[in-house]
Amino acid sequence: MKPLLKLAATTVAIVGALALAAPSFAALKAGDPAPDFSAPAYLAGEPFTFKLSDALKKGPVVVYFFPAAHTPGCNLEAHLFSVAIDKFKAQHATVIGITAGNTDELADFSKETEHCGGKFAVAADTDAKIAREYDALLVMKPGWSDRTSYVISPAGTIAHAYSDLNPNKHVSETLEAVKELGK
């Protein structure tokens, strides 16, 4: 291989690897209008229709996208939200998890104590329409949701956005943003 072509191939490989390793960034920014949606959802295994507009009447809403129910990172993230749910409720915030992956498993996922524990709802985004509107699609697995969290103010605007495939900071990031809204 010619040196210039070898250098170009190496550069492309390095840039590609860095893109996969780096955290993604949510396209919706603070102050942007939050796309309204309704979706089939489950709370403690019971089906209902979640409507963002109705939830916003009660206070801020944390919309967190996750790749798929019953996968290691998503299990951890759901558990972390369930452990912290009383702190969100103290701020009059609603938490809703949304996924386009493994949607047929959401009823069980919503009630299992090691995951959501029936403490907050999870919604099915079967055609990934909501994830597309929120720019929260997983690049590595098209059709599945990325791990992106938004805090939406009662006025219907994005107050905070956080995107990282590592599930560990989504709860602290969103809870801090919800508390800031209450000040």
Q: Which fold has domain 31-181?
A: Glutaredoxin (3.40.30)
Distance CA 147, CA 173 (A): 13
pLDDT at position 94 is: 98
- Separation between Cα atoms, residue 42 and residue 124, nearest integer Å: 9
Residue-level pLDDT at 141: 77
Per-residue pLDDT, 16: 36
Residue 138 confidence (pLDDT): 81
| Global confidence as pTM | 0.84
Give the model's pLDDT for residue 125. 96
Structure-block tokens of residue 135? 């720019």
Give 10-residue mean pLDDT values along the chain (183 residues).
41 34 62 97 98 98 96 94 98 97 94 94 95 88 87 98 93 96 87
Q: What is the pLDDT of residue 143?
A: 79
pLDDT attached to residue 23: 41
Tell me, what's the pLDDT at 26? 61
Indicate the domain borders of the chain. 31-181
65 within 8 A of 34, measured Cβ to Cβ: no
Task: Scan for tokens 């905070």, then name that residue.
Answer: 160
| pLDDT of 139 | 77
- Nearby residues of 124 by Cβ (< 8 Å), 6 or more positions away: 39, 40, 41, 98, 99, 100, 103, 106
Q: How many residues does the chain have?
A: 183
- Cβ neighbours of residue 85 closer than 8 Å, sequence gap 6 or more: 95, 119, 120
